[in-house]
Chain A
Amino acid sequence: MERNVMVVDDELDIRVTVKAVLGPRGFNVMLVESGAKCIEELENGFKGVILMDVMMPDMDGWATVREITNRGLQKGNIISMLTAKHEPDTDLEELAESVIYYVRKPFEPNELVAVVGEYCDLLVEMNGEGSND
Chain B
Amino acid sequence: MNQQQVDMSTDADRLISDRGVPTTVKRYAPVVLVILTGIMLTSVSFQIVHKSDWSIIAAGLSFTGLIAVYLTMLVGRTSAIEKTVVNRTTELQNEIAQRKLAEKRLQGKNEELLATQDELREVNQHLEDRVSERTAAIEKLLKQKEDFVSQLGHDLRSPLTPLVGLVPMLREQQKDPESKELLDVIARNVDYMKHLVEKTLQLATISSMENASFDISKVRLSRAVDDLIKRKEYQFTQNNVTVENRIEQDVTVSADKLRLLEVFDNLASNAIKFMPRGGNLTFDTQVNGEFAIVNVSDTGIGISSVQMGHIFDEFYKADQSRHDLDSSGLGLTICRRIVEKHGGGIWAESEGLGSGTVFSFTIPLHVRAFGQDALCARQ
Contact, CB under 8 Å: B160 / A109: no
Contact, CB under 8 Å: B162 / A16: yes
User: Does chain A have a CB within 8 A of B164?
Assistant: yes
User: Does chain B have a CB within 8 A of A11?
Assistant: yes
Contact, CB under 8 Å: B153 / A106: no
* One of A31-39, A83-91, A92-100 at the interface: A83-91
User: Does chain A have a CB within 8 A of B51?
Assistant: no
Residues of chain B lying within 8 A (CB to CB) of residue A105? 157-158, 160-161
Residues of chain B lying within 8 A (CB to CB) of residue A14? 158, 161-162
Residues of chain A lying within 8 A (CB to CB) of residue B198? 86
* One of A17-25, A73-81, A115-123, A124-132 at the interface: A17-25
Q: A14-B161, A17-B161, A112-B165 are in contact. Are A106 and B194 (CB under 8 A)?
A: yes
Interface residues as binary, B19-52 with A (CB distance below 8 Å gives 1, 0 otherwise): 0000000000000000000000000000000000
Give the distance in Å from the alpha carbon of A108 to the alpha carbon of B195 in the complex.
12
User: Does chain B have a CB within 8 A of A55?
Assistant: yes
CB-contacts of A1-30 with B (<8 A): 11, 13-14, 16-18, 20-21
Give the distance in Å from the alpha carbon of A18 to the alpha carbon of B166 in the complex.
9
The chain B residue with its CB closest to the CB of A82 is B161
Contact, CB under 8 Å: A84 / B157: yes
CB-contacts of B148-171 with A (<8 A): 149-150, 153-166, 168-169
Contact of B166 among A11, A20, A86 (CB under 8 A): A20
Determine how close the nearest CB of chain B comes to the CB of A75; give it in whole angstroms: 30
User: Does chain A have a CB within 8 A of B79?
Assistant: no
User: Does chain A have a CB within 8 A of B69?
Assistant: no
Contact of B154 among A16, A21, A55 (CB under 8 A): A55
CB-contacts of A44-89 with B (<8 A): 55, 84-87
Contact, CB under 8 Å: A109 / B169: yes
Determine how close the nearest CB of chain B comes to the CB of A50; give it in whole angstroms: 18
Contact, CB under 8 Å: A86 / B165: no
Give the distance in Å from the alpha carbon of A108 to the alpha carbon of B194 in the complex.
11
Q: A11-B158, A20-B169, A105-B158 are in contact. Are A84 and B153 (CB under 8 A)?
A: yes
Contact, CB under 8 Å: A109 / B201: no
User: Does chain A have a CB within 8 A of B84?
Assistant: no
Pull 24 A–B residue pairs with CB atoms less than 8 Å apart, ordered by A. A11-B158, A13-B159, A13-B162, A16-B162, A17-B161, A17-B166, A18-B165, A21-B169, A55-B154, A84-B157, A85-B154, A86-B149, A86-B198, A86-B202, A86-B205, A87-B150, A105-B157, A106-B157, A106-B160, A106-B164, A107-B161, A107-B164, A109-B164, A109-B165
**A residues in contact (CB < 8 Å) with B:** 11, 13-14, 16-18, 20-21, 55, 84-87, 104-109, 112
- Counting from the closest, the 3 A-B pairs by CB-CB distance are A84-B157, A106-B164, A106-B160
**B residues in contact (CB < 8 Å) with A:** 149-150, 153-166, 168-169, 194, 198, 201-202, 205
